[in-house]
Structure 1
């Protein structure tokens, strides 16, 4: 198996690495904006996109509380209505959300969805936590490398504010499968929440997610 090189790769390889039959997705939080970043299947992606746009779900709570959230019975879950409805429609029986601290303004959460009623034994939970920390470390390294590259080439710093913001909006649209208006709202909300410029948020999103568009 090739070494993962992007968030999409990490999501795709999660089932084989963990050794359990799951579908995986990765949610990314930067400057308070929750973005569906990668997934191993369309079904997992749809669940995470609903969660990110609603601002409510197990991954959101996992990142808020920095603790693992285990959903033992999706259909019986009383919280997270939009996410639960989508997960039931996709045929998922159980799920877990595992947070990973990247540092700075970024946190990730790995969502693992199962159609099996009881896949989460102690070994599976421990493996999921370890894998999430590996993904968080990869994101941290990616951001550090992107910052060094930008210092050398000025790729993002030489962009006008308008170009950087529009490219970030396009990236959010691609990863979240949402409209330009919704993507702009996500970016604006992140800037307002953290009291930083839209340009700063846009640059960070581009450094992290531009390679995930494909």
Structure 2
């Protein structure tokens, strides 16, 4: 059976591998997106022969926000577009299609933005959207100091990188969801264990049934206006001097 990577172009395969490495090393989402933006900037800089900067914009529900950048200036440029309220990146997210400013001096679509970009030494820009989920999307926002940098070949390279980044973002979301589900399961099992042990203590002390012990514990929880698990854990700590632990197979 052949791997799905075997069907991808060599440069895109390398992009996927590099992005996977960034994801593995990242300690949190912010660090991953920063690594992603730096890798995107380096990849497109190499393809274009010009120094490219990149920011990552994340759109949850309707509001786009700057999430990370390859440099402080990239973050500032992206935030400038957010402040103005429109531009290639925002339009790309809105229409889910890449948008280019080939030459800011002749592009009449966003005069306030291109003027500000020019003042900061940026004369061309490219926004490429990436769909993450039904409620969230992201975009790579590339900035170049010269007009005409995003040629057909460079554009193709950027779109390919964004496709690889989208796949890794999907993977990141799934990993995060699985991690959260595991934490929820662990918490639920710890709660159940603490309650069962506390009921056992009450049964021994009062020589009652499990149902009666549960009723006593529930009444204490209600009277103290505290969660059942917290009351159970407190009882165990009072008797044993330590909290309940739940062990999972590695």
| Same fold by TM-score greater than 0.5 | yes
Number of matched residues?
157
| Aligned equivalents of 2:156, 2:41: Cα separation in 1 | 14
| Aligned equivalents of 1:33, 1:123: Cα separation in 2 | 31
| Aligned equivalents of 2:43, 2:37: Cα separation in 1 | 10
Query: Counterpart in 1 of 2:154?
Result: 124
Query: Counterpart in 1 of 2:93?
Result: 63
| Aligned equivalents of 2:127, 2:93: Cα separation in 1 | 9
Q: Do the aligned residues in 2 keep the contact of 1:59 with 1:109 (CA within 8 Å)?
A: yes
Query: Counterpart in 2 of 1:203?
Result: none
Name whichever of 72-81 and 39-48 sits farther off. Answer: 72-81
Q: Deviations over 1:131-174 (max 9, x none)?
A: 1112222222111111111111139x99xxxxxxxxxxxxxxxx
- Assess, with a 3 A threshold, how the Cα gap between structure 1 residues 84 and 117 changes in structure 2: closer, same or farther: closer
Query: Counterpart in 2 of 1:51?
Result: 81
Q: Do the aligned residues in 2 keep the contact of 1:34 with 1:55 (CA within 8 Å)?
A: no
- Assess, with a 3 A threshold, how the Cα gap between structure 1 residues 46 and 82 changes in structure 2: closer, same or farther: farther
Unaligned runs of 5+ in 2: 1-17, 24-31, 189-250
Query: Counterpart in 2 of 1:174?
Result: none
Structure with the higher helix share, 1 or 2: 2
| Aligned equivalents of 2:111, 2:66: Cα separation in 1 | 18
TM-score, normalized by length of structure 1? 0.66
Q: How well do the aligned residues superpose, as a CA RMSD in angstroms?
A: 2.3
Query: Counterpart in 1 of 2:214?
Result: none
Q: Deviations over 1:172-208 (max 9, x none)?
A: xxxxxxxxxxxxxxxxxxxxxxxxxxxxxxxxxxxxx
Q: Does 1:37 align with 2:101?
A: no
How far did residue 82 of structure 1 move? 4.6
Q: Give the 3-state SS of the residue equivalent to 2:147 in structure 1.
A: coil
Q: Does 1:17 align with 2:43?
A: yes
| Aligned equivalents of 1:144, 1:53: Cα separation in 2 | 31
Q: Give the 3-state SS of the residue equivalent to 1:49 in structure 2.
A: helix
Q: Do the aligned residues in 1 keep the contact of 2:58 with 2:138 (CA within 8 Å)?
A: yes
Higher relative contact order (CA 8 A, sep 6+): 1
How far did residue 49 of structure 1 move? 0.9
| Aligned equivalents of 1:140, 1:101: Cα separation in 2 | 9
Query: Counterpart in 2 of 1:112?
Result: 142
Query: Counterpart in 1 of 2:22?
Result: 4
How far did residue 7 of structure 1 move? 1.0
How far did residue 92 of structure 1 move? 0.6
Unaligned runs of 5+ in 1: 159-214
Q: Do the aligned residues in 2 keep the contact of 1:75 with 1:93 (CA within 8 Å)?
A: yes
Q: Does 1:136 align with 2:162?
A: no
| Aligned equivalents of 1:55, 1:153: Cα separation in 2 | 38
How far did residue 128 of structure 1 move? 0.3
TM-score, normalized by length of structure 2? 0.57
Larger Rg: 2
